[in-house]
A and B are shown apart, each in its own frame.
Chain A
Amino acid sequence: MNDDELKQLWQRQPLRTPDVSPAQLISAMQKQTSQLRRTLVARDFRELVACAFVIIIFGIFYFTVYLTPVSRVGDLMVIGGVIFIAWKLVHTRRTTPLAPPGSTVVESLRAELNAVRAQSRLLGSVLWWYLLPSFVGVTIATWGLRIDLFSKILCTLFFIAVDAFIYWLNQRARSKQLLPLEAQLESLIHAAETGEPPDETRVANLRPLVLSMAAADRVKPVEFKVAFGQLAIYGVSGFVGIWFFLMLGLTTSNDSWKTYTPAVQTPVPGVPNKETDRYSIVVRTVVDLFNAGDYAAVQKLYNAEMSQAFPPKETSDFYTGLAAEFGRIQNIEGPISDGLRGWNTFQLHGQRGQLFMSLVLDADDKISGIRFNPAPKSSGNFKAFILHLFRWQHLLWLVPFVLGGWVYCWLLQKTTERAVGISTLGIHLHKGLNLILWGDIKEVRPFRLLNIRSLWLIQQSGEKTIMPWTGLERPSDLKAAVENFAPADHPIRKQLFLLR
């Protein structure tokens, strides 16, 4: 066939003309224009809403959870970091617009390459602009909280794990999607600019499958989303989890549930060192005499008024009773109070429990007042803590959180694309990115997580891919699709009984 014949064949080919009237066409164009406008507005709006959500949450934390200056600095760093993230995303998108439709093919490819490179750079540097500012902020805020060291370490490890996972996801997306696309575009532009043939290995996947129109139509999969109920199990649990940790934060930062001021491990600055030394020496003497059972010698440390009020007999009886209840004193901590009105308190660790000893000394280092209180038992503290954590004011907040979880899952279900597609060729996963042919699936194994069963699709090559199964919507349609499309003896058929 010569060139002219080929051109004639081309230009006279029968074409399937869409049956649309001019009015319908104009109306469709106008509709698509307003849809595009809405999409563009919604895209920026989404980022601003996400940013506002985090600011509101950390704004609430500023006044409720992060009460120390250090925590508040961390909190403000998180808010600043979130504003920076939103700005960076919107700015990058706006500075790399696509070429106008009337541009040449090369101009259009260049504009697209710029946009892809910008996205690729963003993902490549995600650690610096996305993860690190928030991580530093939230870590500072946590370490500034008045919580124990173990909790601080645990929280920090959790933040590191979450950030490492997000980093890994971003780098994976960059290397699997953006870098190959960047290479393809570079190769095409290079070919256009130099006339050299493009690198076949790079542009190969820009070529579609060679399907006839009829065959391609049959490849169209039946699509299934994840069922709302399954999303809700995790989504609502997540929101309840946020509520729980929020209330936990509020409870730990509020001392009202405690029956005693927490132990301060070091002398507070309000008490002069000389004073604390004086008290420590007397307390050590009292404890040594107490442990030795020399109660009469303890009584001799009292000043005149105290000696008169507590003669040797009563003093001896009192300390005998104390020794019977708490045993020998093994350790002394303190002073743990601020020396208010001259009273200094020490925590004593006895063989059978802990107690607080508060005393006042006169100018001659004689004891002018002494008091013993048993330390509150931890179980009592824990009970008070739990009661405070689940008080009705906190439980009331559970309602909006649960409702928020439902709305979130509903929106997620409505807006996400299909999870699984079933066609005559096989199973389409990852929003169509991965097609596993029926013939390549050698084995199917169920995998259970809570009430949800997924399937491991094990291929001839040994590659394993997980596929949602009982968590998908419309189980009867799914069953019908598999029965219609899967080969008769396919192993997936053995898992159909799981779909109810």
Chain B
Amino acid sequence: MNSTPADEHKFLELVNENRDRILRVCRVYAWNSADHDDLYQEILFQIWRSLPALKEKQFANTWLYRVAINTAISFVRKRASRLDRVVHFEHANLTRTIESRQATEESADDRIADLYTAIYKLGPLEKALVTLFLEDFTYEQMAEVTGISANHVGVMLHRARKKLSSLMKEEAPK
């Protein structure tokens, strides 16, 4: 993209308006601060690249989530291809090791930390739907972002929320 001052202005405006939303998507899909920063930069770059395709500003919200979620899912898959064997590899041992090391480092806001920990355990599509739900999207808007029919969005989201709720109960301090 050969950028003009108008393009640059449009990009900065879009990023400034939606910074928090993008950061929340990053936090859902990235699992450490280095990956979080990498994913944030990657999403901004994909927005920058595809900005000429955004014709009307009224669709910017849906469009931005499409870009962010697609980029995040692809990012996770690339990272997972490096880490997936870690998950399979003696999973119980690994979890024990990590838990023993993180025991003293709980997040300041336990509830939000529990929510993220529960979201981490969802599948990529479930994560997308739950994120959009928390961002207050309607089923129709979710369907526009994901390409899943509104009916199926309802079914899948219901299932994902049920799962999330039981995961959060597991995470909550006893």
Q: List A residues at the B interface (Cβ < 8 Å).
A: 1, 6-7, 9-11, 13-18, 22, 25-26, 28-30, 32-33, 36, 98-109, 112, 177, 181, 184, 188, 191-195, 197-198, 203-220, 424-425, 431-437, 439-440
Which of chain B's residues have a CB closer than 8 A to the CB of A105?
66, 69-70, 73, 125, 128, 145-148
- A-B contacts besides A10-B24, A10-B135, A100-B53, 5 pairs, CB < 8 Å: A9-B112, A191-B125, A212-B106, A212-B117, A435-B94
Of A15, A107, A424, which is in contact with the most chain B CB atoms at under 10 Å from its CB? Answer: A15
Q: Which of B19, B70, B136, B159 contacts A108 (CB 8 A)?
A: B70
The reply to whether the CB of B88 lies closer than 8 angstroms to some CB of chain A is yes
* A205 adjacent to B80 (CB under 8 Å): yes
Which of chain A's residues have a CB closer than 8 A to the CB of B94?
209, 425, 435, 437
Q: How far is the CA of A9 from the CA of B135 in the complex (A)?
A: 11
Chain B residue with Cβ nearest A15: B23
Q: Which of A30, A197, A440 contacts B159 (CB 8 A)?
A: A197
* A215 adjacent to B102 (CB under 8 Å): yes
* B123 adjacent to A203 (CB under 8 Å): yes
Q: Which of A104, A109, A434 contacts B145 (CB 8 A)?
A: A104
* A437 adjacent to B90 (CB under 8 Å): yes
Which of chain B's residues have a CB closer than 8 A to the CB of A425?
94, 97-98
Of B79, B81, B88, B133, which is in contact with the most chain A CB atoms at under 10 Å from its CB? Answer: B81
Min CB distance, B79 to chain A, in Å? 7
Q: How far is the CA of A488 from the CA of B33 in the complex (A)?
A: 29
Taken residue by residue from 19 to 60, chain B's Cβ proximity to chain A (1 for < 8 Å, 0 otherwise) reads as: 110011001000111111100110011111110011000000
Q: How far is the CA of A103 from the CA of B47 in the complex (A)?
A: 12
The reply to whether the CB of B6 lies closer than 8 angstroms to some CB of chain A is no
Which of chain B's residues have a CB closer than 8 A to the CB of A193?
148, 152
Q: How far is the CA of A181 from the CA of B76 in the complex (A)?
A: 12
* B67 adjacent to A7 (CB under 8 Å): no
The A interface is mostly helix, strand or loop, or mixed, namely helix
Min CB distance, B18 to chain A, in Å? 12
Q: Which of B35, B67, B115, B151 contacts A195 (CB 8 A)?
A: B151
Q: How far is the CA of A394 from the CA of B158 in the complex (A)?
A: 76
* A15 adjacent to B32 (CB under 8 Å): no
Chain A residue with Cβ nearest B155: A195
Q: How far is the CA of A100 from the CA of B63 in the complex (A)?
A: 11
Tell me how many residues of B have a C-beta within 8 Å of chain A. 89
* A103 adjacent to B24 (CB under 8 Å): no
Min CB distance, B153 to chain A, in Å? 8
Min CB distance, A429 to chain B, in Å? 10
* B93 adjacent to A437 (CB under 8 Å): yes
Q: How far is the CA of A415 from the CA of B8 in the complex (A)?
A: 33
Which of chain A's residues have a CB closer than 8 A to the CB of B53?
100-102
CB-CB under 8 A for A6 and B115, given A211-B32, A213-B32, A439-B93: yes
* B148 adjacent to A106 (CB under 8 Å): yes
Min CB distance, A173 to chain B, in Å? 11
The reply to whether the CB of B101 lies closer than 8 angstroms to some CB of chain A is yes
Which of chain B's residues have a CB closer than 8 A to the CB of A107?
147
Chain A residue with Cβ nearest B142: A105
* B81 adjacent to A181 (CB under 8 Å): yes
Which of chain B's residues have a CB closer than 8 A to the CB of A431?
82
* B77 adjacent to A106 (CB under 8 Å): no
Of A32, A106, A109, A209, which is in contact with the most chain B CB atoms at under 10 Å from its CB? Answer: A209
Q: How far is the CA of A26 from the CA of B36 in the complex (A)?
A: 20
* B44 adjacent to A437 (CB under 8 Å): no
Min CB distance, A316 to chain B, in Å? 88
Which of chain A's residues have a CB closer than 8 A to the CB of B20?
11, 15
Chain A residue with Cβ nearest B69: A105
What are 30 contact pairs spanning A and B, CB under 8 A?
Answer: A6-B115, A6-B134, A7-B134, A10-B115, A16-B23, A18-B37, A26-B8, A29-B11, A33-B49, A101-B46, A101-B49, A104-B144, A104-B147, A105-B70, A105-B125, A105-B148, A107-B147, A177-B81, A181-B77, A188-B123, A203-B123, A206-B123, A207-B120, A207-B121, A207-B123, A208-B83, A210-B31, A217-B32, A432-B82, A437-B93
Which of chain A's residues have a CB closer than 8 A to the CB of B15?
25
Chain B residue with Cβ nearest A460: B90
Q: How far is the CA of A29 from the CA of B8 in the complex (A)?
A: 10
Which of chain B's residues have a CB closer than 8 A to the CB of A212?
102, 105-107, 113, 117
The reply to whether the CB of B174 lies closer than 8 angstroms to some CB of chain A is no
Q: How far is the CA of A7 from the CA of B82 in the complex (A)?
A: 33
Chain A residue with Cβ nearest B91: A209
* B63 adjacent to A102 (CB under 8 Å): yes
Min CB distance, A124 to chain B, in Å? 19
CB-CB under 8 A for A25 and B44, given A102-B54, A432-B82: yes
Which of chain B's residues have a CB closer than 8 A to the CB of A208?
31, 76, 79-80, 83, 87, 120
Min CB distance, A8 to chain B, in Å? 10
Which of chain A's residues have a CB closer than 8 A to the CB of B8?
26
CB-CB under 8 A for A215 and B98, given A11-B135, A29-B44: yes
Which of chain A's residues have a CB closer than 8 A to the CB of B121?
207, 210
Chain A residue with Cβ nearest B101: A215
Q: Which of A101, A191, A215 contacts B67 (CB 8 A)?
A: A101
* B34 adjacent to A204 (CB under 8 Å): no
* A25 adjacent to B12 (CB under 8 Å): yes
Of B31, B47, B88, which is in contact with the most chain A CB atoms at under 10 Å from its CB? Answer: B31
Min CB distance, A301 to chain B, in Å? 85
Min CB distance, B25 to chain A, in Å? 11
Which of chain A's residues have a CB closer than 8 A to the CB of B101?
215, 218, 424
* A101 adjacent to B134 (CB under 8 Å): no
Min CB distance, A190 to chain B, in Å? 11
5 closest A-B pairs by CB: A104-B147, A216-B32, A106-B147, A195-B152, A205-B84
